[in-house]
Amino acid sequence: MFSSINSRAIVPVACAVTGFVIACCVLLYTFVKSDLITGEIHHAADLADTVIKSTRYAMLHDDRETLSQIIHNIGDQKQVEHVRIFNKKGLIMFSRDNSEVDNFIDKTAAGCNECHAESKPKRKLGAMEQARQFTNNDGHDVLAITAPIYNEPECSNAACHFHDAGQSLLGTLDIGVSQAPLKKTLTQLKGRMIMFSGMVLVLTVGAVCALLYRQVFLPIKQLVDFTERAPDDSLNSDFPEVSGEVAKLANAFQKMTARVKELEERHPQSKEAPSKDPLP
Amino acid sequence: MSQAGPHPDGQQMSGRDELRQRIEARIRRLERVSLAGLWSMVLFLIISFGAYENFSFFPEISEDFRRMLGAPPPSEMISLALVIYAFSGIVGTLARMSRNIKPFRGLMHTAFFAAFYAFYFLSGVLPDNFWAVFFAGLSVMGLENYYLWAHSNEALQKEREMLARLRGDGE
């Protein structure tokens, strides 16, 4: 396989370039994927914040019907897979899915155990820690955010209900958005990167091959053909169309052959009886 | 070359035989060297197989041990280091090839790529980055091992030619 100069020059370069380009593309894809997921998490966290702010007035006035209507309307959006609000004890108070209401949430489920892993639950979480990715019962990939609803002076001072000032957490909003658009974008990105990498590889390896062939292999082949010609042929005819080092080599060979021929003509006996030992 | 030393068996050995034995020993050593790169490649592939399985055959790392190790470096930094290492590895091998400097024979590359797998594993992002380390390792070690093989083969061919000439002269 590696006997010819072509394969010895091209195969290692092609393999090294291919491996490096694939490694870089995988890393680039991972970076872009990570950035897109981070953006999606921030977007979902903003959405959860918007929901909490939108429901704040209804909560302060203990307007459960309006609150339920808001939750249903948000849940009816195409990208929203689920939306629910549960109290500190984990009892689901409002949900788009009516069958969930008045049931306790599973604290050991993915997303909940971020806060409840230790005996004392965490009080504050960053946007990235609030997020969880999972496949729901319908088989859809979901990115969910759990946003805590903290007690505020307006809540504890409100005349309508009973939250005391010492209670830090009133409840949690859990909203899940579909990851289908993100997955579709990532699939498109993967396809485009594979295509782009393939083109870069073909161009790089092709250009290296073409240049090596034109600049090195072809002149060498011409030189080999020239030197392997029958000794009686005229050396002046069919001189290879080469330049640079290969031309110098062809000239040197031509001079050497002419000199050997001259010597042979001067001493014809040496041509007829060559030495047995070619080595000096 | 014509010097003749005493043979362990007590027989007088000609200089030609001694030279032939030396060449044969060199050929055996070069044959071993040309295969040496293969072992580092095999080791890398075995480690890669473990990494592909996310080292699931190892017992889970305890929280205390993780705390002792400290916070893992960000995955972006590991990826940057991987790109720099792979790039400099390929450029280094190509430079040694062009200057005909003796190829590297050790297990350094295998150890470095195993370390990249370990860092990604400890950062919890090994499944996402496995193929990057695998292809980077394959290209760097493949090129290095090809050079080792080609370099050894070239020397081997010269030694064999010398041996053949020596045998030819002896007959």
| Model ipTM value | 0.71
Question: Is A191 at the interface with chain B, CB within 8 A?
Answer: no
* Chain A environment of B136 (Cβ under 8 Å): 19-20, 23
Q: Compare all CA atoms of chain A with the CA of B83 and give the residue at the minimum distance.
A: A24
CB contact under 8 A, A19 and B140: yes
CB contact under 8 A, B132 and A27: yes
The owner of tokens 């030393």 is B5
* Chain A environment of B135 (Cβ under 8 Å): 19-20, 22-23, 26
* Chain A environment of B76 (Cβ under 8 Å): 31
Question: Cβ atoms within 10 A of the Cβ of A108, count?
Answer: 8
Could you tell me if A130 and A145 are in contact, meaning their C-beta atoms sit under 8 angstroms apart?
A: yes
Q: Which residues lie closer than 8 Å to A227 by C-beta, 6 or more apart?
A: A253
Coil, strand or helix: which one is A235?
A: coil
Question: Is A23 at the interface with chain B, CB within 8 A?
Answer: yes
Alpha-carbon gap: B10 to the closest alpha carbon of chain A (Å): 34
Question: Is B41 at the interface with chain A, CB within 8 A?
Answer: no
Q: Is beta strand A169-178 parallel, antiparallel or unpaired with respect to A141-150? A: antiparallel
Question: Is A19 at the interface with chain B, CB within 8 A?
Answer: yes
Pinpoint the alpha helices (H) of B53-125: 63-69, 75-99, 108-123
pLDDT in tens, chain A (280 residues): 556 676 777 778 888 888 888 999 999 999 999 899 999 999 888 888 888 888 888 887 778 888 888 888 888 888 888 888 888 778 888 888 888 888 887 766 655 655 666 666 655 555 566 788 888 778 888 888 888 888 776 666 666 556 666 677 788 888 889 999 999 999 999 999 999 888 888 888 888 888 888 778 888 887 787 777 655 555 555 666 667 777 788 778 778 877 887 888 887 765 555 544 444 4
